[in-house]
Every structure is written in C-alpha cells, then in structure tokens.
C-alpha cells in the first residue's frame, strides 16, 4: 500500500491532521476532556483500519468520518441527561466541518470563542452550567426557577445566535 514503512506513513498523516481532527471532534462532543478521549479512541480505530485508507485521497476527510462515528457512539453511551446538541444538529455540524478547509476550521473555532464572549453574561452562565458541568438541564432549570422547556428554548436561541455570529464573522474575514 505505501512505499515506505506503514507506521511512519500513518504517523505522518495523523500528525498532520491532529489539530483539525481535534477541533472537529470538539464541535461534536463540546467538552475538552471528552474530546481527548474520543480522539484517542478514533486514533486507535484509524490505525486498525489504516489499510482501508486510499493513498492520494484526503486523510483528514477519512479521519473525520471515522471520528464522527466514534463521537456519536461516545455520546450515545454517555447520556447523562445532560444537555447535548441533537444528533441531527451534530451530524449537520460534522458535515459542515468535514467540508471546511483546515484553515477555516481554526477560523470558525476562533470566531465561536469570540461570539461566546459577546453573549450577555446570563447566557454565558447558562451555557456554562448546562454544557460545562455535571448537572442536567432539568437540575439547572430547577435551580434558576425556570421550566426545563424554557431552558431548552433559551439554549436553542443561543445556539442559533452563535451560529449566525460565527457565519458572519467568517464571512467578514473572507471579505478582508
């Protein structure tokens, strides 16, 4: 399959796309520690299936397709009644990210961080509590005196606002 050493070929390809793969998986699982776990698991699967990779094709696209399944499997196993993006949204995000050139992945990640900083403090706090901790949305809702439906609605509005902000930021960067 490869002219040189199989291990060396894999290591070079994987090292070349590691950061992009990490950003891609993080977009799916939304937690740094979980991202590390999923990327590690995906790397094992990639190595095991490396003979299936077609040289000359995009290694990052192949790696992302493997990682997508690992991430979705991880989320399925990890259901802690914690707020997660819907599977449909995660797949949509994954397909968008898979078609995004590597330099744009970093641009979108930076834009998202900037857009989150622009949110009002209350919205940032809601995101932190629902996605950054171990509490379920129902527990957060109870603590802040709101219904679960109301909190999910707020999270949906925040997600839409962030998506719009990121799209505008990336479009603005492209025009410069």
What integer pLDDT is reported at residue 62 of this predicted model? Answer: 92
**Global confidence as pTM:** 0.48
Can you give the chain as a three-state secondary structure string? CCCCCHHHHHHHHHHHHHHHHHHHHHHHHCCHHHHHHHHHHHHHHHHHCHHHCCCCCCHHHHHHHHHHHHHHHHHHHCCCCCCCCCHHHHHHHHHHHHCCCHHHHHHHHHHHHHHHHHCCHHHHHHHHHHHCCCCCHHHHHHHHCCCHHHHHHHHHHHHHHHHHHHHHHHHHHHHC
**How far is the C-alpha of 133 from the C-alpha of 69, rounded, in Å?**
24
Contact 60, 67 (CB under 8 A): no
CATH of 1-86, one of 1.10.1200.10, 1.10.357.10, 1.10.1740.10, 3.40.50.970: 1.10.1740.10
What integer pLDDT is reported at residue 169 of this predicted model? Answer: 85
What integer pLDDT is reported at residue 96 of this predicted model? Answer: 60
What integer pLDDT is reported at residue 120 of this predicted model? Answer: 92
What integer pLDDT is reported at residue 44 of this predicted model? Answer: 93
Domain at 100-176, CATH class: mainly alpha
Tens digits of per-residue pLDDT, 103-130? 556 677 778 878 888 999 999 888 888 8
What integer pLDDT is reported at residue 81 of this predicted model? Answer: 42
What integer pLDDT is reported at residue 170 of this predicted model? Answer: 80
What integer pLDDT is reported at residue 136 of this predicted model? Answer: 79
User: What are the tokens at 134?
Assistant: 């171990």
Q: Where are the domains of the chain?
A: 1-86, 100-176
Find, among 95, 41, 90, 104, the residue nearest to 64 by Cα.
95
Low-confidence residues in the chain, pLDDT < 50: 1, 81
């Amino acid at each position: 399959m490869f002219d040189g050493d199989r291990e060396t070929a894999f290591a070079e390809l994987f090292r070349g796309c590691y950061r992009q793969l990490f950003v891609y998986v993080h977009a799916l699982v939304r937690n740094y520690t979980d991202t590390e776990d999923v990327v590690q698991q995906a790397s094992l699967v990639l190595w095991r299936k490396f003979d299936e990779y077609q040289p000359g094709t995009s290694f990052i696209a192949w790696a992302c397709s493997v990682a997508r399944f690992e991430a979705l499997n991880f989320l399925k196993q990890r259901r802690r009644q914690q707020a997660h993006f819907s599977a449909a949204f995660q797949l949509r995000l994954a397909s968008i990210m898979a078609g995004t050139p590597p330099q744009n992945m970093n641009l979108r990640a930076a834009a998202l961080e900037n857009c989150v900083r622009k949110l009002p403090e209350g919205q940032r706090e809601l995101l932190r509590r629902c996605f950054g901790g171990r509490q379920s949305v129902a527990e957060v809702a109870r603590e802040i005196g709101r219904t679960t439906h109301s909190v999910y609605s707020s999270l949906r509005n925040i997600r839409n606002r962030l998506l719009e902000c990121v799209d505008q930021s990336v479009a603005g960067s492209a025009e410069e």
